[in-house]
Amino acid sequence: MVTVRLKINGVAHEGRCEPRKLLVDFIREDLGLTGTHVGCEHGICGACTIMFNGEAARSCIMLAVQADGAELATVEGLMRDGKLHPLQEAFREHHGLQCGFCTPGMLMTALDLLRTNPSPNDREIREGISAVLCRCTGYQGIVNAVRAAAPILASSR
Amino acid sequence: MKPPKFEYHAPTTLDEAVAALGRYGGDAKVLAGGQSLMPLLNFRLARPAALVDLNRIASLAYIREQDGQVRFGAMTRQRTIEFSPVVAQRLPLLKEATRWVGHLPIRTRGTIGGSIAHADPSAEYPAVLAALEGEVVARGAKGDRVIRAADLFQTYLTTSLGSEEILTEVRLPAMPAGAGYALEEFARRHGDFAIVGIAAVVVREGQRCKLARLATAGAGPVPVRLRAAEQILEKDGLGEAAIDAAARKATELVDPDADIHASADYRRHLTGVLTKRALIRAIGVARG
């Protein structure tokens, strides 16, 4: 067993687990943060994408022990003062989700895309979110949402 | 779909990592970015006795210029390479190739050393290493050795690295100023592994070709240098007929396998098509 100490959404946590425990399972089962979803469990679907030390990463192909000392952010950390994050607002406004399964991963991926490319064109948005599979929307609503959120996030920076 | 049990080591120095690896006599695996090894563990296709995780060895992540080469610590992330000004200036082919490597959240974790040591024949970085005649440094119990690209890749997912050696550095010769380059790839979706990819470099003097480099991804069990196709350009120049002849020659130089994604014939056909596209684009951006 190993001890894992990390910060997630600004809150310090500590837990003990086997070294083989996947980070996404640690987040969901040990820390009770079930907003991050488990899809394919082998790094294809992107539903489990979180922020790992400020960058989008797939938590189903990382070990919990690798996050010892790290700062993580998940979908639960996006709301501020009871209000949705501007990217979440845009997803709601532009039909960026239907069933919502991929949405946590889509949001974290799009946040890293907009962090590194604050005003992407549609091709760049599509390339960025191609990391996450969505079966409901046909992606157009997601592209529209990310495009709409970009200037709002850029101006709040 | 959860990893099997393993002993876990996360050394903070390279010496400790080499020592830890040596203790398992080939039954341990080195964990770099984990974007290929972790899925294999989740499927239990890999069942190593131990993992030696390199992610806490800070000295393995760097990009520096030395002796006309750009040298990358094995743990340099693909995302760092994507945004590196040194790479943009000295190795624009590598920068272009990086955009084809997986997806954004894969590149934040994936490393240059891991990609090359994993030696997936469809991957972009091995093709770039082959095209640029790069080399890697391997550290074992007896010290360092340098392995040239041509001597590194043996077959699918297999390199000449010893089971107790760690790839520590990747060295790529800086591209000549003004060299044209292109990486053309066909995959069903952007971010998937290439069905076939072609890396091309062209150094031109008017219509003359001073140097041509062509290497494949996905067209055989290892990246294939298309030397005989390069020679056509170096002899006959950069006109349309020479490009066509080089592309035709390229299809004769590969021996692709069939799999669920594509037949061998289709891969051979793509090798010609993409060689031509890569050459036209490389020649178009070449100065001189």
DSSP notation for A19-86? TT-BHHHIIIIIS--TTS--SSSSSSS-TTEEEETTEEEEGGGSBGGGGTT-EEE-GGGS-BTTB--H
Looking at the predicted structure, is the pLDDT value of residue B110 above 60? Answer: yes
Looking at the complex, does the CB of residue B76 fall below 8 Å from at least one CB of chain A? no
Domains of chain A, CATH where assigned: 2-77 (3.10.20.30), 86-155 (1.10.150.120)
Query: What residue in B sits closest to A42 (Cα-Cα)?
Result: B39
Confidence of residue B1 (pLDDT cuts 50, 70, 90): low
Confidence of residue B94 (pLDDT cuts 50, 70, 90): very high
- Shortest CA gap A53–chain B (Å): 10
Subunit contact B6:A20, Cβ cutoff 8 A: yes
Mutate to test the interface with B, among A20, A117, A134 (most CBs of B within 10 A): A20
What mean pLDDT, rounded, does chain A reach? Answer: 97
* Residues on chain B touching A19 (C-beta within 8 angstroms): 6-8, 51
What pLDDT sits at residue A14?
Answer: 97
Looking at the complex, does the CB of residue A116 fall below 8 Å from at least one CB of chain B? yes
What pLDDT sits at residue B21?
Answer: 97
User: Which of A18, A62, A130 lies nearest to residue B38, judging by beta carbons?
Assistant: A62
Subunit contact B103:A57, Cβ cutoff 8 A: no
3-state helix vs strand vs coil in chain A, percent to 5: 40, 20, 40
What pLDDT sits at residue B207?
Answer: 86
The predicted-structure confidence for B118-135, as pLDDT tens digits, reads as follows 999 999 999 999 999 999
* Residues on chain A touching B4 (C-beta within 8 angstroms): 20
Looking at the predicted structure, is the pLDDT value of residue B58 above 80? Answer: yes
CB B136 within 8 A of CB B162: no
Residue window 46-105, chain A: list those with CB within 8 Å of chain B: 46, 49, 52, 55-58, 60-63, 65-66
What pLDDT sits at residue B189?
Answer: 80
Confidence of residue B193 (pLDDT cuts 50, 70, 90): confident
Looking at the complex, does the CB of residue B47 fall below 8 Å from at least one CB of chain A? no
Confidence of residue A87 (pLDDT cuts 50, 70, 90): very high
* Residues on chain B touching A133 (C-beta within 8 angstroms): none
Subunit contact A19:B51, Cβ cutoff 8 A: yes
Confidence of residue A157 (pLDDT cuts 50, 70, 90): confident
Q: How far apart, in Å, are the Cα atoms of B53 and each of A62, B7, B8, B129, B284? A: 11, 11, 7, 24, 43
What pLDDT sits at residue B141?
Answer: 94
What pLDDT sits at residue A108?
Answer: 98
Confidence of residue B191 (pLDDT cuts 50, 70, 90): confident
ipTM of the complex: 0.96
Domains of chain B, CATH where assigned: 7-53 (3.30.43.10), 58-173 (3.30.465.10), 180-285 (3.30.390.50)
CA–CA gap between residue B137 and residue B80 (Å, rounded): 20
Residue window 8-47, chain A: list those with CB within 8 Å of chain B: 18-20, 22, 25, 41-43, 46
Give B28's strand partners.
Answer: B50
* Residues on chain B touching A60 (C-beta within 8 angstroms): 38, 42
